Structure 1
């Protein structure tokens, strides 16, 4: 597949990226939270700061998960490799979504647990959002080298394909929450679908390559 960047440019970018510590991803992902904190204490969140806090935390989490989905297509289309930052971005996306839930429970619901549980089952967009978060919990817990060794690479990869479902549910949560045909949530959904579709040829290639490799190995026996 023809790439959008010349190989030489991609190599230079990747060489520069290799000098950047993987932990830098955590620091960069903290910037939206620091900005939100500043806006909160400076009175810059408008007439309904609680809703704005909830919205910004949830949207930042969704944005980071979209970035995670984009890492593989970006490599296929440009040759730029960001895989070493994937774990940091994914975990920070999860933390933002947990913070989004916490803001709803504490600031909006006032820790009225019975009312919160009732809303989770009564309001479909909240149900979908909770389903997305529940799917992400095992992914966050296994986002470490020890879990990869314990599960084995193949089982770990299968488990982490739940990311695709979780991100789709997150986008659907946003679309349903808005309830009107606003452009922003629909753009997120369209980008996510595009990124998932872009992975299909790569997945087929990997599957066929594995099959060919197994067949060649069997023929040599």
Structure 2
């Protein structure tokens, strides 16, 4: 069985960005507050990976290539990794390692609490992403992983609070998220299956 070439490619792409941002920070190329820029980049990267993860199922339905679902698992784990680095950067760079301030931050800054809820949800998904968890949970596994739909809304709300001055960028992510959630609606999913069938018939005719 050949090793899927896309796995190291996904790993290399996902791992290279944080290393690149760290390098820019080391070179003082991230502006006067490199810690905050790094935290923001990691948070935005986690959102992008979350949206990419959501896009894998529609891609599988449209193309009938099962590899998208394997990519989905890998992207989901990288999304959690970015979120963990985002939280770690927040605690180290923005709180200065003073963990005692976290309780006060949660009370005074609602976006921190919302972001924390999103991270808890991602942790649950990451901890139950293995084949062992799938066998252990059985039919409940899909119910647990439907948390991703709530998580994407929570993360978008967290980002809206953080980047209120750049709402255009937020609307781009929010629009993408809404579109990906709509693709889960049975009527829309059925239309996607119909489109796939039409494309398949056209391909057979061309042959």
TM-score (norm 2): 0.83
Q: Does 1:179 align with 2:179?
A: no
Structure 1 residues 200-211: aligned runs within 5 Å: 200-201=185-186
SS in 2 for 1:22: helix
Q: Which residue is equivalent to 2:128? A: 142
Alpha-carbon offset, residue 79 of structure 1: 4.6
Specify the alignment match of 1:69 in structure 2: 54
Distance 1:204 1:96 in 2: 30
The corresponding residue for 2:144 is: 159
State the shift of 1:23 in Å. 4.9
CA RMSD for the aligned pairs?
2.1
Match of 2:88 among 102, 113, 132: 102
C-alpha distance in 1, partners of 2:124/2:23? 32
Q: Does the 8 A contact of 1:23 with 1:85 survive in 2?
A: no
Structure-2 residue corresponding to 1:31: 16
Are residues 1:125 and 2:111 paired?
yes
SS of structure 2 residue aligned to 1:182:
helix
TM-score by length of 1: 0.78
Deviations 1:51-83 (A, max 9, x none): 101101111111101100111122334555511
Number of aligned residues: 188
Q: Which residue of 2 aligns with 1:114?
A: 100
For residues 160 and 113 of structure 2, the distance between their equivalents in structure 1, rounded to whole angstroms, comes to 13
Q: CA deviation at 1:149?
A: 0.8
CA–CA separation in structure 1 for the residues paired with 2:187 and 2:123? 27
Deviation (angstroms), 1:179: 2.6
Aligned to 1:54: 39
